[in-house]
Amino acid sequence: MNVTEPHMTGTGMLALDTTTEDAGAVRAEVAVLPIGSFEQHGPFLPLMTDTVVACAIARRIADAYPVHLLPPVTISCSHEHADWPGTVSISAATLYAVVRDIAVSLRGSGVEGLVLVNGHGGNYVVRNIVQESAGTDMRMALFPGSSDWAQARERAGVETPSHSDMHAGEVETSILLHDHPELVRPGYETSDFVSDERKHLLSLGMRAYTESGVIGRPSRASAQKGRELLAALVDAFAEYHSLLAPADTSRRTR
């Protein structure tokens, strides 16, 4: 195994056989932490969808930049999905504590930058964690940002507006169709459901706005769109890496 390119497991997570030698060979100033969720994604996408998406992004970042790739945080803040079987959540306070503890541990080992690759929109607290890092000895960033997603959506030719493409829609289904098509079950082609008026989502949960758990147009998804979405996000990460690791802004060469 090439120590600069530890292989991944089937869902794109860090391989179980990655050693300290593998990590040390990269000598990264920046760590990348995928944060997903364990929640319903309709009848055709897995509970692990957000984690798979975050890992797909993080894995491609690690392929392109000298970063220390971490295993994902899989269970997070999915309380709005609690009405569907399989969904599991932790509190925002717990997620905050976990991420902060990881940052402190990394800093203790000499890693001074941490990028949170967030795959679940309900993890609002991660914004506060990054916000509070300003002016400290741990440089942090949240990726992808809204502008990064907007550029990626445009490049990939995503048809559904971002507000309508909320959950198990065109973007998420496209990324899984490209990265892990075996995880996408039949039915996405006929599961479109639009619910743009979601004023009381945080109070009432998703069930008030969708019976299937889907809000979006997964029928418009394609593997090609997924490929372009991920490629665009890898390009967008260059600015973040330059910001957090100014001593080493180069992308890896193959």
Helix, strand, or coil (residue 34): strand
Is the pTM higher than 0.75? The answer reads: yes
Kindly list the distances between the CA atom of residue 70 and the CA atoms of 54, 64, 103, 119, 166, in Å, as whole numbers in the listed order: 11, 15, 11, 15, 27
Instruction: Give the pLDDT confidence score for residue 250 in this predicted structure.
Output: 55
> Distance between the two ends of the chain, CA-based, in angstroms?
15
C-alpha 226/C-alpha 178 separation (Å) is 5
Question: What is the Rg, in whole angstroms, of the alpha carbon atoms belonging to the chain?
Answer: 18
CB contact at 8 A, 30 and 149: no
Length of the chain: 254
User: The tokens of 47 are what?
Assistant: 């509970």
Neighbour order of strands in the sheet with 67-69: 67-69, 30-35, 113-118, 139-143
Give the residues of the chain that fall short of pLDDT 70.
1-15, 247-254
Instruction: Give the pLDDT confidence score for residue 6 in this predicted structure.
Output: 39
Instruction: Give the pLDDT confidence score for residue 246 in this predicted structure.
Output: 73
Degrees (nearest 5) of the Cα angle 185, 189, 192? 110
User: The tokens of 28 are what?
Assistant: 């990264």
User: The tokens of 167 are what?
Assistant: 């959950």
Instruction: Give the pLDDT confidence score for residue 47 in this predicted structure.
Output: 98
Instruction: Give the pLDDT confidence score for residue 74 in this predicted structure.
Output: 97
What secondary structure does DSSP assign to 40-83, as a single string? -BTBTB-TTHHHHHHHHHHHHHHHHS-EEEPPPB-----GGGTT
C-alpha 159/C-alpha 157 separation (Å) is 6
CB contact at 8 A, 111 and 68: yes
